[in-house]
Amino acid sequence: MESHQKGKGLSAEVVDLKQNLTDVTAIKQAKNEQLQTALHKVGDDLHRTQDFVLHQHELSFNKALDEAAYFYNVPLNEGKFDVNKDFYKGELVLVDDIRDEEGGEEFTQLATPGLDNAGGKV
């Protein structure tokens, strides 16, 4: 009789443990879904922020070009102006040709889709 009671007690305990496991699994899945939703929101926010920063950068760059053209009478449409060149050691050179002083490695710029290194269409 005593072993029968023990068996019933163990059986009830197993049922309780199974229910607890089911509850914990459901909570874990709900938290995982919340985290996935939050992750997607952060990704969307990051994308919008990157777009905003890039847009502001482009506006500022265009403003600086307009100011240079206005204040210094720099004609931007004559072909002398090249955004792919920079001053390096007193010379105007292609950005791709500028080497890192310390490591001797080439300075790399971000590639612009659809344009070659000289700014021409690919």
Q: Is the pLDDT confidence value at 106 over 60?
A: no
- Whether 69 and 75 have beta carbons less than 8 Å apart is answered as yes
Rounded Cα gap, residues 40 and 120, in angstroms: 37
* pLDDT tens-digit map of 51-61: 999 999 999 98
* pLDDT tens-digit map of 34-90: 999 999 999 999 999 999 999 999 999 889 988 988 998 878 787 777 878 888 888
- pTM of this prediction exceeds 0.85: no
Rounded Cα gap, residues 97 and 25, in angstroms: 58
- Whether 120 and 83 have beta carbons less than 8 Å apart is answered as no
Provide the 3-class DSSP secondary structure of residue 77.
coil
- Whether 46 and 54 have beta carbons less than 8 Å apart is answered as no
| Furthest CA-CA distance within the chain | 106
- Strands (E) located in the chain: 85-88, 91-94
Res 117: pLDDT: 45
